[in-house]
Chain A
Amino acid sequence: TMSDVDETIKRLSTRKGVEGIVILNDEGLTIRSTLDADLTKKYATYVYPLVGKSRTSVSEIDPENELTFLRIRTKKHELMISPDKEYTMIVVQNHHE
């Protein structure tokens, strides 16, 4: 049910260091986000293409392999990206104490 989904998102967003959660469809369009509209759009625009590229790269190297998760570590954050055939979940975590 929708409330289960929103509850899960809410619970996840209270985890230590979690700054935002963005969930996209298979076109990179936003289904749900805990970030403001501008920032959400940036993640959708700039992070979503990385998923497809990573997926392709993995299977090009080895057709029997597939992308299961993507983590991007930056100075300020770690992006945890869970890709699926139809959806992508991006979680932005501040990894500092």
Chain B
Amino acid sequence: ESTKTEELRELSDEERKTIVTSHTFANFVDTSSKIVERALHETYDFMKDYTIGAEV
């Protein structure tokens, strides 16, 4: 009966534990972290010396 406009509920510790110990979650964290690690390695700041939309 609660409306969607109410604040997001929170997961209980038990719900979190169920998720965190699941295989699908472990695979997701493993794969995503590898992808993110590659993205983190890119250090070239393509915006350097240019700012679009920010204050002059």
Contact A84 B28 (CB under 8 A): yes
Q: Which of A25-47 contact B (CB under 8 A)?
A: 25, 27-32, 41, 44-45
Q: Which of B1-34 contact A (CB under 8 A)?
A: 8-11, 16-17, 19-21, 24-26, 28-33
User: Complex: how many Å from CA A75 to CA B45?
Assistant: 11
Contact A17 B54 (CB under 8 A): no
Do A5 and B37 contact each other (CB < 8 Å), given the known contacts A29-B9, A29-B10?
Answer: no
Contact B20 A69 (CB under 8 A): no
Task: Tally the A-B contacts, defined by beta carbons under 8 Å.
Answer: 79
Contact A80 B20 (CB under 8 A): no
Contact A44 B8 (CB under 8 A): yes
Contact A84 B20 (CB under 8 A): no
Query: Taking the nearest CB of chain B, how far is it from the CB of A3, in angstroms?
Result: 10
Can you show 18 pairs from A to B with CB atoms below 8 A apart?
A1-B26, A2-B20, A2-B21, A4-B30, A5-B25, A12-B37, A29-B8, A29-B9, A31-B11, A31-B16, A32-B16, A73-B47, A82-B31, A82-B36, A86-B24, A91-B40, A95-B43, A96-B45
